[in-house]
Structure 1
């Protein structure tokens, strides 16, 4: 639907989550898409508050999509949060989004209407991090694939959403691959054959910025969505320069990878080289140069008793 190949998709969660009018919200969407992102998205809190009713938000976001497409010549998208209090209201909002021509809707948990369905893992930690009565996120992810989702937040490995690399890539492969072998070292406890069931794109989002781009490109590959919220809108020059910085960083990493360079070893050098001819990226590098998330993962593989 977005006609992008050979690289991960690049997205952004609009910030602040709440407080913008529908018109200003649409302007933020336009600036990000015009700057080079493939799509933007609503956060889980954005619903239909008195200051930003859902219908107004849908209209201004649709206008932003069409305007940015006309100016860039690229296909753009926005994940409209269609979550509501009843199933009937959610369907009504999703149908309205379809009628506007918006390609993606988001649900805080529709397999019809020809729309991409973006699944936000809001409150997942309440469900999957309690070992006594919880449900592992791997199970939730597989249930999502079985029920028809298209995108799901899958953790970042390097950002603020914790998750060990092997475990995260284990359920990412369960989402993307048609067949996956048993591999207990990655938390895959039995062989899974998905036959012809459509795959799901993993979305990495949460605490990521331009310095993470080489690692994210290497870890998640082309069939993924790299989604920068504050990493776009926190740019000191504004929303559009933030989008430019992320797009330049991504293109530089993809080009370096295709040339055979090692992103794990040369990642910082690649970003610095690209920043020499992109003032937007240089400013972003300066802002986020000292931001790190250092903690132990809660979700660890169970080790057999000795």
Structure 2
């Protein structure tokens, strides 16, 4: 509550998936509270990071929704074809989720996502 009173606009709350997994219910409740009305203060955008790569995005979005920041450092920079390909793969994983397609199917026409699936597996 103090951070919100201090005016933060983003706060790392846990990834739900990845190496910084926490209790799903607790993280989702915290995310909801950060976006709720609190004495007229602006909401805070939850940040999910820590082991997030393109293979984990669909589960993260299924659980947490789209009102959050996905901070995927290693999941972008660790792509076998470099940072630009990693950024594309992460975006492609979000696009696949929004289109209701599996990552495997979407990767058939999206090279960078296919490379990410080879690197990290289809978790």
Q: Same fold by TM (over 0.5)?
A: yes
Which structure has the larger Rg over C-alpha atoms? 1
What is aligned with 2:5?
A: 146
What is aligned with 1:283?
A: 115
What is aligned with 1:222?
A: 66
Structure 1 CA distance for aligned equivalents of residues 111 and 21 of structure 2: 31
Q: Is the 2:75–2:86 contact (alpha carbons within 8 Å) kept by the matching residues of 1?
A: yes
The alignment's C-alpha RMSD in Å is: 1.5
Q: Deviations over 1:47-83 (max 9, x none)?
A: xxxxxxxxxxxxxxxxxxxxxxxxxxxxxxxxxxxxx
What is aligned with 1:131?
A: none
Structure 1 CA distance for aligned equivalents of residues 122 and 87 of structure 2: 20
Q: 2:88 aligns with which of 230, 234, 244?
A: 244
TM-score normalised to the size of structure 1?
A: 0.39
Aligned in 2, Cα 1:290/1:250: closer, same or farther, shift over 3 Å? closer
- Please give the residue correspondences for 1:96-245 in structure 2 after superposition, counting only pairs within 5 Å: 142-178=1-37, 194-245=38-89
Structure 2 CA distance for aligned equivalents of residues 279 and 236 of structure 1: 12
TM-score normalised to the size of structure 2?
A: 0.93
* 5+ residue gaps, structure 2: none
* 5+ residue gaps, structure 1: 1-141, 179-193, 257-268, 292-306
Q: Is the 1:216–1:226 contact (alpha carbons within 8 Å) kept by the matching residues of 2?
A: no
Q: Tell me the matched-pair count.
A: 123
Q: Deviations over 1:172-201 (max 9, x none)?
A: 1111112xxxxxxxxxxxxxxx13111000
By relative contact order (CA 8 Å, sep 6+), the higher-ranking structure is 2
What is aligned with 1:191?
A: none
Structure 1 CA distance for aligned equivalents of residues 9 and 29 of structure 2: 18
1:243 CA drift (Å) = 0.5
1:290 CA drift (Å) = 7.3
Q: Is the 2:103–2:122 contact (alpha carbons within 8 Å) kept by the matching residues of 1?
A: no
Structure 2 CA distance for aligned equivalents of residues 177 and 255 of structure 1: 28
- Please give the residue correspondences for 1:7-26 in structure 2 after superposition, counting only pairs within 5 Å: none
Q: Is the 2:55–2:122 contact (alpha carbons within 8 Å) kept by the matching residues of 1?
A: no
> SS at the partner of 1:172?
helix
